[in-house]
Chains A and B, each alone.
Chain A
Amino acid sequence: MSTPVLKLVAQRIAMGILLLLAVSVLIFAGTQILPGDVAQSILGQSATPQALENLRRDMGLNDPAYIRYLHWLGGILTGDLGTALSSGQDIASSLKGRLWNTLFLAFWAAIVSIPLAIGLGLLAVRYRNGFVDKLISGLGLASTSLPEFFTGYLLIYFVAVRLQWFPSVSTVYEGMPLGERLSAIALPVTVLTLVVLAHMMRMTRAAILNVMQSAYVETAELKGLSPLQIITRHAFPNAIAPIVNVVMLNLAFLVVGVVVVEVIFVYPGMGQYLVDHVAKRDVPVVQACGLIFAAVYVSLNIIADIVAIVSNPRLRHPK
C-alpha cells in the first residue's frame, strides 16, 4: 500500500477521533438539558423532600457542569465509566454484557442479511426488469415498509405461539449453550434481516446497474463474457464503494437502532439498557451508551471510507 493511501487513512482516523470528542461534548451538554432531575427520577413518585436532598448531595449534582465534564472525560480515557446512579453498579461491567449481546445479535443478523442482500441484488441485476427482479424488489420493499414491531408480532404469533418452533422470549444469559442461544435469537434475527434487507439489496442493484452503463462493461460483453461473469468480475468490484457504504449504515442500525425489537423479544441488549436509564435520568449510563453508539457509528463509517479509498484506483494512485 502506498504512502498517499496511508496518509488518507490516517487522516480519516484522526477525523474520527476528533468527531468523537465533539460528540462527547454534545452528549454531555444534551444530558444536562434533559427535563427533570436525576434524584427525583430515581426515587419517583414516592420521594420525600428529605430523601431527595440527601440523594442530590450524594451524587454531586451541585458541582458546575464543566468540572463534571472533565471528570467524566478523564474517567472514560482511563476506561472508568463510573457507577450507575440508580443501582450503584459499575457501568463498565454491566454494560459489557449488554454490548456483547447487542453485537451478538447484530453479528448474526449481518451474517444472514448481508450475503442474502448482495446475492439477491446480483440476481436482480442479472434478470433486471424481469419477473425475478420485480419479485425480489417487491418483497424486499414490502418487508422494509412493515414496521418491525408488526413483523415481530406476526412472527411471534405464527412461529412461537402457533407452531412453537422458536421461543418468543429471547432472553439470553451468560453460560447459555450456543445452540440454545441461536434458537433464542432466531426470531429477532429474522425481523432484523427483513428490516435491513431491501435497503442493501436495492443499493447493490442500483450501484451495479450504474457501472453496467460504462464502456468497459460493453467491452467485456463484446469479449464474449457471460452476463454473470461480467457482473461478478467487472461490475461488482467497481460498485463496492457504495455497497460497503450502505452495508455499514445498516450494520450501524443493527447495533444502535434495534430497541423496538429488543423490547418485543425481551432481548437484553444495549437499546433497552439505554432506554431504562434515560427514564431514570441515570446520566452517567446514558452518556456512556451515547458515546459507545457514537463510536460504533463513526468507526463503521471510517471503515466504509477506507474500503472506498482502497478499492478505488483513482484514490490509490492520485496524480
Chain B
Amino acid sequence: MSNELDYLSRRVALGKLSRRDFLGRAAALGVTTVFANSLLTSAALAEGPVKGGTLKAGMQGGASTDSLDPATWQSQVPYKFGRQWGEQLVEIQPDGTLQPKLAEEWGSSDDAKVWTFKIRKGVQFHDGKDMTPDDVVATMERHSDANSKSGALGVMGGISNVKKDGDTVVFTLKEANADLPFLMDDYHLMIQPNGGKDKPTAGIGTGPYKVVTDEPGVRHIGAKFENYWNGDKRGHAEQIEIIVINDATARTSALQSGQVHMINRVEPKIVDLVKRVPGVTIQNVAGKGHYVFIAHCNTAPFNNNDLRLALKYAMNREDMVQKILRGYGSVGNDFPINKAYPLFSDDIEQRAYDPDKAAFHFKKSGHDGPILLRTSDVAFPGAVDAAQLYQQSAAKAGITIEVKREPGDGYWSEVWNKQPFSESYWGGRPTQDQMYSTAYLSTADWNDTRFFNEKFDKMLITARGELDEAKRKSMYRDMSVIVRDEGGVIVPMFNDFIDATSAKVGGWVPDGNQEMSGGYALSRCWLNA
C-alpha cells in the first residue's frame, strides 16, 4: 500500500477525513473504488484497543529539576506523566463537559456555595490501600494549606472548608462558584493516600500506571497497575515511557527512527516537512492557549483607552496566524476566550486590522513618539518575529513600535507582569470564570494587564454564582466585550496544539484541553498489533 493511501485511510479512521473525500483522493492516486473501500475497512478494524507493549513518548518540557510531587508541577513532562499515574475527582472531556473520575457524582446547594462529591468505591491506590473520602479531604487540605507551595493554591483559595460526610466529601465555599467541579480537574489535585502528606514525592496515585522509574529530565516509566478500576477504557499498553527530548530536531528524528511513538510540540514551521514522513500523522487540535501582547492599563501611555484601541487596530491577526502559526491556529479577538470554552458566544464582532482606525485613535490619544514593546524567545514560539510583524503593521498606521529583545533568562520574573508592554502566552483554563479570575479580576495575582474595572469584577462574581446557564452565557458575553473594548490585552491568535504520532499508535483522541490528547495520550492510546 502506498504511504499516501495508508496515511489517508488512517485519517478516515481518526474521523479527520470523510469517506467520500478518501475515495476521491484514492481515485486520484489511481486506485479502484473497490480496493480503496477494502483499505478503509481494514484501517477501521484495526482501530480497537490492543493490549500490551511499551508505548513511548518523546516530550519537550522536562528538566532534571522536576519532581513527582503534584504540588510542584508546572511543566509538560511531570504533569503529563502525572495524568497517567494519578487521577482527579473529575475529568474534562474533549467537548468541554465534565465526566466523573474518582467522584461518581456531584451536586450543589441552590446558592452554589456548598458542593457535595460522592466518592467512588472500590478504587485502589498503587500501594494496595483503598481510596477513601479521607484521602480526598487530606489531598485538598495539602493543596490549600497557606504554607503550601502548591500550584493549586490559587484554585483552592475560594474554598473555606472541606470535610468528609459518609461516602461524600463536602466543599464549603467563601463565595458562590458554579464552576467548582471544573476546578477539581486541576492537574495538581491528584488524589493521593493521606493527600501525599507523608511523602509528597512518593508518586502514588490511583491511575492506570504506577511509577516504576523516575529520572527527572531523562525518562519516566510507568507499568500497568493490575488493580486499576477503569482498565477497559484506559491503560492499554503494558508499559509507558516518557523520554525527555527538549531539542525539536532530536524529537522529530526519534519519531522518524521509531525510538518513540509520539511526540509533542511539533514546531509550526516544520509541520509540513514532518507530514511527509511515511507513517507519521500530525495531530493538531484547536485549544484554549493563546499568545498575548499585554499593556498595563494603569501606566502611561497605556492608561489611555484610545491608545490601547489604536494598538489593537494596528494588529494584523490573519497575518500573525499565517506567518507565526503557519495556519495552525485561529485569530483572536482581544479577549482570552474562544469557542473551545463552554458558554462561549460566537456573535461578538471580530476586530480586524484597520490602519485608518488605528491612526485615528492614536491621534485622539494625544500620545506622541515610539511605543516600547518588550519581547523574548521564551514569550511564545516566534515571539520575536511576531513583534517585528507587529512593528510593520503598526508602522502603516503611523505608530512607531520599538522592539526590545530581552534575555529569556529572567523574562518571567523581570519583564512579564512588571514592564508596561510586553509579549506573553496563556495556556488557557478549563472555564471562562477561571481564565478571567486568574488574569482579569482587579485583585488577581496575575492581573498582567493591570485591568481594574469595577463593573467587570462585579459581573464576574455574579456570574460565578449563577446556576442558570443562559444567564451566565450572556454575562460572559458582556464581560468579553468589556475586555475587548477596554482591556489592556491584545490577543492576535489562539494556537493549536501540534503533536505527531507514528503508524504504530492507535486510539488517539483529539482533545483541545491540553497537548498530547488532553494529557491522556499515553493511557488512551495503544500500540497497533
Interface residues of chain A, those whose CB is within 8 Å of chain B, are 35-37, 40-46, 48-51, 54-55, 58, 84, 86-89, 94, 98, 153, 156-157, 160-161, 164, 167-169, 171, 173, 263-266, 268, 272-273, 276-277, 279-280, 282
- Can you pick out 6 interface pairs between chain A and chain B where the beta carbons lie within 8 Å of each other? A45-B446, A51-B153, A84-B65, A88-B69, A156-B253, A168-B254
CA distance A156 to B255 in the complex (A): 12
Contacts of A50 in B (CB 8 A): 146, 153
The answer to whether the Cβ of B21 comes within 8 Å of any Cβ in the partner chain is no
B219 touches A36 (CB 8 A): no
Q: For A282, list chain B residues within 8 Å (CB).
A: 65
Q: Tell me the smallest distance from the CB of A33 to a CB of chain B, in Å.
A: 12
Shortest Cβ distance from B67 into A: residue: A87
Question: Looking across the interface, which residue of chain A has its beta carbon closest to that of B58?
Answer: A169
**Complex Cα spacing A48 to B146, Å:** 11
The answer to whether A167 and B257 touch across the interface, beta carbons within 8 angstroms, is yes
Alpha-carbon separation in the docked complex, A44 to B12 (Å): 41
Q: Name B's A-contacting residues (CB within 8 A).
A: 58, 63-67, 69, 72, 74, 146-151, 153-154, 201, 213, 215-219, 243-247, 249-250, 253-254, 256-260, 409-410, 412-414, 416, 445-446
Counting chain B CB atoms within 10 Å of each CB, which of A37, A48, A49, A94 scores highest?
A: A48
Which partner residue on chain A sits nearest B216 by CB separation? A87
Q: Is the CB of A265 within 8 A of B67?
A: no
Residues in B neighbouring A161, C-beta threshold 8 A: 253, 256-257
Residues of chain A with a CB closer than 8 A to B259's CB: 167-169
Q: Which single member of A58, A153, A168 contacts B257 (CB below 8 Å)?
A: A168
Contacts of B147 in A (CB 8 A): 54
Asked whether B254 lies within 8 Å of A169 as measured between CB atoms, the reply is: yes
Bound Cα distance from A171 to B253, whole angstroms: 14
Residue on A nearest B259 in the bound complex, by CB: A169
Residue pair B217, A268 in contact (C-beta under 8 Å): yes
B200–chain A nearest beta-carbon distance, Å? 8
Bound complex: CA of A268 vs CA of B69, how far in Å?
22
Do B149 and A173 touch (CB < 8 A)? no
Minimum Cβ distance to chain B for residue A187 (Å): 11
Q: Which residue in chain B gives the minimum CB-CB distance to A174?
A: B215
The CA of A156 and the CA of B150, in the complex, are separated in Å by: 40
**Interface centre among A35, A41, A48, A266, by most B CB within 10 Å?**
A266
| Cα(A168)–Cα(B258), bound, Å | 10
B409 and A36: CB pair below 8 A? yes
Known: A169-B243, A266-B245. A41 touches B219 (CB 8 A): no
Interface of B is mostly: loop
Q: Which residues of B contact A49 (CB under 8 A)?
A: 445
Among B219, B412, B414, point to the contact of A173 (Cβ < 8 A).
Answer: B219
Alpha-carbon distance between A44 and B67 when the two chains are bound, in angstroms: 15
- Nearest-neighbor residue (CB-CB) of B448 within chain A: A45
B458 to chain A, nearest CB (A): 23
A169 near B63: Cβ-Cβ < 8 Å: no
Residues of A within 8 A of B72 (CB): 42, 86-87
- CA A36 – CA B412 in complex, angstroms? 9
CB pair B67–A86 under 8 Å, yes or no, is yes
B257 touches A160 (CB 8 A): yes
CA distance A65 to B474 in the complex (A): 56
Instruction: Let me know if A36 and B414 touch, CB within 8 A.
Output: yes
Contact of B412 (CB < 8 Å), options: A44, A88, A157, A160: A44
- Chain A residues with CB under 8 Å of B58's CB are 169
Given the complex of chains A and B, what is the CA–CA distance between A268 and B246 in angstroms?
A: 12
Q: Are B250's CB and A263's CB within 8 A?
A: yes
Cα(A113)–Cα(B256), bound, Å: 30
Q: How far is the CB of A180 from chain B (nearest CB, A)?
A: 13
Residue from B148, B149, B258, B409 in contact with A35 in the complex, judged by beta carbons closer than 8 Å: B409
- Tell me the nearest residue of chain A to B71, going by C-beta: A51
Which residues of B sit under 8 angstroms from A55, Cβ to Cβ?
Answer: 149
A40 and B149 CA atoms in complex are apart in Å by 12
* Chain B residue at minimal CB-CB distance from A38: B413
- A contact residues around B446 at 8 Å (CB): 45
Q: CA separation between A54 and B146, bound complex, in Å?
A: 9
Contact flag A280-B412 (CB < 8 Å), given A161-B257, A264-B247: no
Q: How many whole Å from A26's CB to the nearest CB in chain B?
A: 20
B250 touches A86 (CB 8 A): no
Whole-angstrom distance between the alpha carbons of A54 and B145 in the complex? Answer: 11
The answer to whether B65 touches A276, judged by C-beta atoms less than 8 angstroms apart, is yes
Distance of A98 Cα from B247 Cα, bound (Å)? 19
Asked if A273 and B217 make an inter-chain contact with CB atoms under 8 angstroms apart, the answer reads: yes
Cβ contact within 8 Å between B64 and A276: yes
A293 to chain B, nearest CB (A): 16
Residue of A nearest to B438 (CB): A46
Given the interface pairs A168-B257, A273-B64, the reply to whether A36 lies near B445 with Cβ below 8 Å is: no
B67 touches A88 (CB 8 A): yes
CB-based contact A35/B410 at 8 Å: yes
Q: Which of A36, A40, A156 contacts B250 (CB 8 A)?
A: A156
**Residues of chain B contacted by A279 (CB below 8 angstroms):** 63, 65, 409
What is the bound-complex CA distance between A55 and B146, given in angstroms?
Answer: 11
- Is the beta-carbon distance between B247 and A263 smaller than 8 angstroms? yes
User: Within the assembled complex, what's the spacing in Å between the Cα atoms of A265 and B244?
Assistant: 11
CA distance A164 to B259 in the complex (A): 10
Closest 9 CB pairs of A and B: A86-B65, A276-B63, A36-B410, A40-B413, A87-B67, A268-B218, A276-B64, A35-B410, A36-B413
Further contacts, 18 of them, CB under 8 A, given A169-B58, A276-B65: A35-B409, A35-B413, A36-B410, A36-B413, A41-B412, A41-B413, A44-B412, A50-B146, A54-B146, A54-B149, A58-B149, A86-B72, A169-B254, A171-B243, A173-B213, A264-B247, A264-B250, A272-B64
**How far is the CB of A42 from the nearest CB of chain B, in Å?**
8
CA distance A247 to B216 in the complex (A): 33
Chain A residues whose C-beta falls within 8 Å of the C-beta of B257 in the assembled complex: 156, 160-161, 164, 167-168
